[in-house]
Structure 1
């Protein structure tokens, strides 16, 4: 993704498109200065994503989305962005400068599919908190985001990491059907219809069309055990030993851990946190005892992610990689992170977080576009790594972003030196310069090219939609 590409719009193209869109979507198109426009731009979770499009569209049906796509297809000079929750920190991904942003949050209906309690129909603009509230009444759960404010659409099309990952894989593997708007029309993609499109979209984000509805599997889950614990940084060796015990013991698909190494700039302190869930009712389960029993503990706290400590006006950058776990490689990665974090520790109230998450189970017979192979069994010995940095001073943005890139380069060099670096980069955590679709491999990219040529021969989504692209 090239942020400068959003400047390719010509003024004549933009003027023409605005006029056409005003006709096909009357009353649902907003311009700078409109309160709805300002509200939409200001609602992005991170300041780094608050670009200023020439107009914002708010459709509330697949038919209206189709009308928008038809208009945009008529002028290849106009860039556009697709927004569901607006939770990414990346600029020019779910928003755009000068082009058109399609705000899908009005497509938020939640309902059972044909009275079937096992499958839930969810609009792409719904937030996961709304999905969980709906399912809680029925004693069921879905494979969704750990953050209730995250939108359904972007989360699933990027793959989707959750506390269910060790048992049920990516969220996208738990989708049974999608309603997707393409230049060829409104299509259903599933295991029987448009199978190639169904595979490509799961992990392919907005490269092939605009998903307006997901039909997702739900699971009977009445009670989980879970919580968060904060520790001093002196427990690092014990933390890595707990990972080693979990990875080297009998695989427990119910044990989910998100471990974060944190620097809180306001306190100038390094800490470690574990957010843990056991996917059945079992107080103090054995599978998580190695983490729960680490001492000393600073506090026991409700399950929460590091972002819950931030206000929504922060700037942020995410960078990601995947490594094969070993105590030695993770200890060296931690050392790189601490050393580089100190270079930016003077930025007021900065928060730097290095997080390890379990790699999702790869379900056999459920192909997606991520280029992963079930036989590799990455869930047994690999971790997805994310470096996330949050800050408040706009003037610090350039240097913090440079440090984030350099830090990841150094951490990957450490992992490569121990033959522990995997090529996969999880797209929902990738920085704008990382080009995660390349990490899926040539076979996945070739399949994506074929699907794009079939369903979007003009290249509307490949050329005009901003965001990460297949090669």
Structure 2
């Protein structure tokens, strides 16, 4: 009861300044319907508009977090960049709000959902290998699962996402931390080109020669138009070793010591994510291991010496490993009622910082579970090689490549709709507590960038993009003087 009282008091004083985004504008339903019909009449047979309650419309507006689904006036599946150009021009000229959905995994309301026109990128689903250039063209409507599957058949891979069911577009446009980050950099560092529909409808191919757009697209999300295709570098890929093991809360000190030692090793093929969860009053560690080779080099010995309560590690193909850490059966679409993400950034998971992270999940796990016994809280510590930002040139994210920062992700899931503001408040407090602990530990993270794909709605742009905000705003004004992309949700410069 004390927690509820505190939160309500803070809200009444206006201390919690982060609210869900306001609607862009109240549009007459007949105007929206007219726009949908105009689009339907203008596009080719490669594309199609769907209306409620058709099954395809329902699939097009679907998101993994049910609470952020909005009833759009219609959905449209463009089948070519040219048709998407027509669609974007109509939306811009009619000032109709819209949203663009790839994987549908965001938890931020209004970022890829709308009451206007939902653009579903489903038909941009090609994976084309370019053997002569060592690259692969990937449609923006795909998630990573079929991309990895296609490439696995010819012994290749890309530095994409680490979890099944996550979209290629969101991962890449926001940054992209994955299984191969320590070796090759962020996903955006491995892009060699974009096919982009500009806000004015022009279809362009963007490469590193296009200095401003190249900078903005690499971490700047959907501010500069709609990407229809990415071209990625490919890498040879053999069997890998890894899996997940579960550990009791009593192993905290042993895991802390093993994690500290792991961060000091220099084998860029080795990745580990230390996850901790609090559900139904129970705290649990899960460590996800990944080694890019059939046998690990000994870097996990301290972890593997810790008594485990379950789980398994083994040698598999890259694709089979990838599927094993996702929903079961593979390909299942996971959906929760309510969920939020947020993040902090650290330069090291030191013993002091690790202890604060554990304290925070126990503190807030207990508090939030007392309000809704279905609440699940999960944190993930994700160390990478110190040189992870050395693989690419200047980009929107990260704003500073001079030293490594590692993301800590915080997730809450719940079913009580009255607790939305409470959950957001909790995540912001957790993020601040971890940052403060890192600063007290001597880490230079007081202004370290938060990862845009993890940050909760209402996060100031400067907290993610730092000193790049001014340049990004200038680029957006030049690329989109009519503010067409402002009709869509997401982080806006």
Runs of 4+ with >6 A deviation: 306-310
For 2:275 and 2:398, locate their aligned partners in 1 and report how far apart those are by CA, in whole Å. 27
Counterpart position of 2:72: 53
Task: Describe how 1:283-362 pairs up with structure 2 within 5 A.
Answer: 284-294=296-306, 296-301=307-312, 311-325=334-348, 326-346=350-370, 347-359=372-384, 361-362=388-389
For 1:404 and 1:384, locate their aligned partners in 2 and report how far apart those are by CA, in whole Å. 14
For 1:356 and 1:308, locate their aligned partners in 2 and report how far apart those are by CA, in whole Å. 23
Are 1:38 and 2:65 matched, yes or no? no
Task: Describe how 1:405-444 pairs up with structure 2 within 5 A.
Answer: 405-420=428-443, 421-422=445-446, 423-436=448-461, 438-442=463-467, 444=468
In the TM superposition, residue 235 of structure 1 has moved relative to its aligned partner by 1.1
For 1:80 and 1:132, locate their aligned partners in 2 and report how far apart those are by CA, in whole Å. 30
- Change over 3 Å in CA distance of 1:305–1:429 after alignment to 2: farther
The alignment partner of 1:428 has SS state of coil
Equivalent of residue 386 in structure 1, options 371, 390, 409? 409
TM-score in terms of structure 2 length: 0.86
Contact 2:345 2:406 in 1 (8 A): yes
Counterpart position of 1:20: 38
The alignment partner of 1:454 has SS state of helix
Counterpart position of 1:189: 206
Are 1:91 and 2:100 matched, yes or no? no
Are 1:111 and 2:123 matched, yes or no? no
Contact 2:271 2:290 in 1 (8 A): yes
Counterpart position of 2:14: none
In the TM superposition, residue 362 of structure 1 has moved relative to its aligned partner by 0.8
For 1:398 and 1:449, locate their aligned partners in 2 and report how far apart those are by CA, in whole Å. 29
Contact 1:353 1:387 in 2 (8 A): yes
Q: Which runs of 5+ in 1 are unaligned?
A: none
Are 1:276 and 2:289 matched, yes or no? yes
The alignment partner of 1:405 has SS state of helix
- Change over 3 Å in CA distance of 1:404–1:93 after alignment to 2: same
Contact 2:185 2:390 in 1 (8 A): yes
In the TM superposition, residue 75 of structure 1 has moved relative to its aligned partner by 2.7
Contact 1:9 1:79 in 2 (8 A): no
In the TM superposition, residue 163 of structure 1 has moved relative to its aligned partner by 1.0
The alignment partner of 2:134 has SS state of strand
Greater shift after overlay, 196-205 or 16-25? 16-25
For 2:400 and 2:432, locate their aligned partners in 1 and report how far apart those are by CA, in whole Å. 26
For 2:422 and 2:470, locate their aligned partners in 1 and report how far apart those are by CA, in whole Å. 36
For 1:18 and 1:435, locate their aligned partners in 2 and report how far apart those are by CA, in whole Å. 34
In the TM superposition, residue 405 of structure 1 has moved relative to its aligned partner by 2.7
Q: Which runs of 5+ in 2 are unaligned?
A: 1-17, 314-320
Counterpart position of 2:15: none
Contact 2:278 2:361 in 1 (8 A): no
In the TM superposition, residue 370 of structure 1 has moved relative to its aligned partner by 1.1
Are 1:165 and 2:181 matched, yes or no? yes
- Change over 3 Å in CA distance of 1:181–1:308 after alignment to 2: same
Contact 2:276 2:379 in 1 (8 A): yes
Contact 2:164 2:326 in 1 (8 A): no
In the TM superposition, residue 389 of structure 1 has moved relative to its aligned partner by 1.2
In the TM superposition, residue 307 of structure 1 has moved relative to its aligned partner by 7.0
**What is the root-mean-square deviation of aligned Cα atoms in Å?**
2.4
| Cα shift readout 1:252-276 (whole Å, capped 9, x = no counterpart) | 21110111111122xx311101101
Contact 2:272 2:290 in 1 (8 A): yes
| Cα shift readout 1:183-235 (whole Å, capped 9, x = no counterpart) | 3400111123x232122111011010100000111100111111111100111
Counterpart position of 2:214: 198
